[in-house]
Amino acid sequence: MPTISAVLIVRNEEKHLERCLLSLFGVVDEIVVVDTGSEDNTERIARSYGARIGHFPWVDDFSAARNTALHLAQGDYVLSIDADEWIENGEEAKTLLHRFVQGHGPETVGTVEIVSTVGTAPECQEVVDHTERFFHRVSCRFEGAIHEQIMLFNGSKQTASTGLRLGHSGYAQPTNAPDHKALRNLKILRKEVERLPDDEYCWYQLGKAFFSLKDYEAAIEAFQTALARIRFTEGSVPQGRLGGVSREVLTGALVSLAYALVNTGKPQEAAALLKQHLALGHNGVFWSDFHHARGYVHLMLGNLPESRAAYLESLRLGQDHEDVRGTGSFSSAYHLGLLSEAEDNLPEALKWYTESLRCKCDYPPVLSRCIDLAAEQNIVFPIDLLELADREAFSALYLKRLRHFMENNLTAAASRLIQAAECSPSLHGLCKASLVHSSSHTD
Per-residue pLDDT of the chain (443 residues; tens, 9 = 90+): 899 999 999 999 999 999 999 999 999 999 999 999 999 999 999 999 999 999 999 999 999 999 999 999 999 999 999 999 999 999 999 999 999 999 999 999 999 999 999 988 777 899 999 999 999 999 999 999 998 999 999 989 999 999 999 999 998 888 888 888 899 899 999 999 999 999 999 999 999 999 999 999 999 999 999 999 999 998 889 999 989 999 999 999 999 999 999 999 999 999 999 999 999 999 999 999 999 999 999 999 999 999 999 999 999 999 999 999 999 999 999 999 999 999 999 999 999 999 999 999 999 999 999 888 888 887 778 888 888 988 888 888 888 888 888 888 888 888 888 777 776 666 666 666 655 555 554 44
Predicted local distance difference test score (pLDDT) of residue 435: 55
Distance (Å, whole) CA 435 – CA 427: 13
Closest CA to 274 of 203, 292, 313: 292
Beta pairing class for 4-10 and 30-35: parallel
CATH of domain 4-168: 3.90.550.10
Let me know if the fold of 4-168 is the same as that of 174-328. Answer: no
Distance (Å, whole) CA 87 – CA 296: 34
Predicted local distance difference test score (pLDDT) of residue 375: 85
Closest CA to 247 of 256, 257, 237: 237
Distance (Å, whole) CA 397 – CA 120: 18
Count Cβ atoms below 10 Å from residue 27 Cβ, excluding itself.
20
Distance (Å, whole) CA 129 – CA 118: 12
Predicted local distance difference test score (pLDDT) of residue 176: 85
Predicted local distance difference test score (pLDDT) of residue 395: 83
* Third-level CATH fold of 174-328: 1.25.40
Count Cβ atoms below 10 Å from residue 412 Cβ, excluding itself.
10
Count Cβ atoms below 10 Å from residue 383 Cβ, excluding itself.
11
Instruction: For residue 17, give every residue at least 6 positions away whose Cβ sits within 8 Å of its Cβ, in sequence order, or none.
Output: 10, 42, 45, 46, 83
The whole model's pTM is what? Answer: 0.90
Asked if omega into 2 is within 30° of 0 (cis), the reply is: no
Dihedral angle computed from the Cα positions of residues 361, 364, 365 and 368, in that order, rounded to the nearest 10 degrees: 100
Predicted local distance difference test score (pLDDT) of residue 386: 82
| Region of 142 on the Ramachandran plot (φ > 0 left; ψ -120 to 50 alpha; else beta) | beta
Count Cβ atoms below 10 Å from residue 158 Cβ, excluding itself.
11
Distance (Å, whole) CA 292 – CA 289: 5
C-alpha distances out from residue 92 to 162, 184, 356, 395, Å: 11, 35, 31, 37
Distance (Å, whole) CA 216 – CA 262: 10
Ordered by start, the domain boundaries in the chain are 4-168, 174-328, 350-443
Predicted local distance difference test score (pLDDT) of residue 271: 98
